[in-house]
Amino acid sequence: MLTRRLGLSGPAVSAIGLGCSGMTSDYGTPDDAESTATIGLALDLGVTLFDTSDAYGAGRNEELLGAALGRRRGEAMIASKFGNIRGPNGERGGVNGRPEYVAVACDASLRRLNTDVIDLYYQHRIDPAVPIEDTVGAMARLVESGKVRQIGLCEAGVDTIRRAHATHPLAAVQMEYSLWTRDAEREILPCLRELGIALVAYSPLGRGFLTGSFRSRDDLIPTDRRHAHPRFQDGNFEQNLALLGPIEQVAARRGRQPAQVALAWLLAQGDDIIPIPGTKRRTWLRQNVDAIELGLDENELSALNAAFPPGAAAGTRYPEKQLRGLGI
């Protein structure tokens, strides 16, 4: 398995990680048995970075990951997050970055994950009511106490990243990054490279859209959260379908799948970028991991860049209310 490093002096992790959020909420129907098998296969294939959060499934996601890793915990790098408050049924409850809450949230995650240390602990969403120095200071104390090994932020702006990094070194910043979401390239990625911080790319397959699996909104079950996302709504959905042609053409020429082409493009953007495609199915996991072996040539990369310039996708990447809470 190809590896990449979490920051200049951080640990090496698999070049592709596994996003676990869809195993318990948001996308499709949960299947604990298949999700557990997928986590086990990921370990067998050399995947070491597993991404979760206390917000996913109101903590159920952490419980599932902890149970699935079991005695193989030592083979995995667990990344979890705090501060994006959810109710027991997934209700959104704002953000919380208060220092006293950081320690409480961490202890609860440790119990659910059945571990004594979280390898990478993110602030899931920035709390505008709390200075970032106060929140990161509390995270630093978790590192000092041995409960956390590395820290990071999720969806933060340049000024916040710089102030946080000055308080305690960040190993990674997690951002949405894919062919149809290239916002990070403008300011965030140059800042991270200046400071020596890795970019962990979530939704690298455009919440599944870039796989070419969806040809109609009817392909999503009624409870799928993507119905609320502007890019999946009527009008935008049809326009975005037209973007898939260049990915599918490269895939057909190379005898690969569109998802592998999208991941190979992302891997080619720099050794400091670590995609974490999410899946609860072993079939898709194998496909995603195999993308590591697909090296795109300059002509293919140029064609994809031309087909997906920043802003090419129709619709914003989140509903307006969620966009306002991203802190960037």
Residue numbers annotated as active site: 56
Residue 169 φ/ψ, nearest 5 degrees: -55, 130
d(CA 240, CA 236): 6
Report which residue type is found at 88. P
Contact of 12 with 3, CB cutoff 8 Å: yes
Report which residue type is found at 200. V
Residue among 287, 263, 225 at smallest CA distance from 22: 225
The one-character DSSP state at 210 is: G
Within 8 A by CB and 6+ apart from 227, the residues are: 217, 220, 233
Length of the chain: 328
Residue among 174, 238, 232 at smallest CA distance from 206: 232
What DSSP letter does each residue of 22-60 carry, written as one string?
GGTSSSS---HHHHHHHHHHHHHTT--EEE--TTGGGGH
